[in-house]
Amino acid sequence: MTRTTLDLWVGIFVVAGFAALTVLALKVGNLSTYNTSETYQLQAYFSNIGGLKSQASIKSSGVLIGRVSQISLDSERFEAKVTMLIDKRYQFPKDTFANILTSGLLGEQYIGLMPGGDEKFLKAGDEIKKTQSAMVLEDLIGKFLYSKAEDSN
């Protein structure tokens, strides 16, 4: 085989390989949904984060606006400290409410932001003061049983 046909075949092979990688990245993977726009950081403290993981989504009115970047236990307050990266395009009032919610009955957990009425906006590095922890199924059942017992008395 002459060198040009050889080169052509190898070229086709390499191009096909890189095309496959691109398909993997864009169609199979989530590279197309990666947020390349600028973000700012917010913190929130939760007494229980349930099954929240880093890279979990942050939604407001169901729209994806950011991701959880870090979760750690604050050793002074003994609460979970959740660091969030929010898209710069979206600003939230100071009295925004952060809830840990579950998508579907058994789906993954995410943070929902409910904006309040304050006229000042949260700046980079601020803390969201009003938070609500994750629903833990055991607590829920416990509460239910407790209220049932009260009813029957």
Partner 1 sequence: MIIENLRSIGHRIVNAVWRIGYASRFFMLILLYSGVSFRRFHLIIKEIFSSGVMSLIIILVAGLFVGMVLGLQGYETLKRYGAESALGSLVALSLVRELGPVLAALLFASRAGSAMTAEIGLMKATDQISAMALMAINPIARLVAPRFWAGVISVPLLAALFSVMGVFGGYLVGVVLIGVDQGSFWSQMQSGVDFRYDIVNGMIKSAVFGVVVTVIALFEGYVAPPTAEGVSGATTRTVVQSSLAILFLDFILTAFMFQGE
- Which residues sit at the interface with partner 1, rule CB under 8 A? 1, 3, 6-7, 9-10, 12-14, 16-18, 20-21, 23-25, 27-34, 53-55
Least distance from partner 1 to the Cβ atom of residue 36, Å = 12
Residue 133 has φ and ψ, to the nearest 5°, of: -75, 175
The alpha-helical segments, DSSP class H, found in 24-152 are 137-152
Q: Which residue, 7 or 74, has its beta carbon nearer to partner 1?
A: 7
Least distance from partner 1 to the Cβ atom of residue 29, Å = 4
Give yes or no for a contact between 117 and 81, defined as CB atoms under 8 angstroms apart. no
Q: What distance in Å separates the CA atoms of residue 147 and residue 89, rounded to the nearest whole number?
A: 44
Q: Which residue, 53 or 130, has its beta carbon nearer to partner 1?
A: 53
Q: Which residue, 85 or 128, has its beta carbon nearer to partner 1?
A: 85
Least distance from partner 1 to the Cβ atom of residue 112, Å = 17
Q: Which residue, 6 or 145, has its beta carbon nearer to partner 1?
A: 6
Q: What distance in Å separates the CA atoms of residue 66 and residue 60, rounded to the nearest whole number?
A: 9
Neighbours of 110 (CB within 10 A): 19
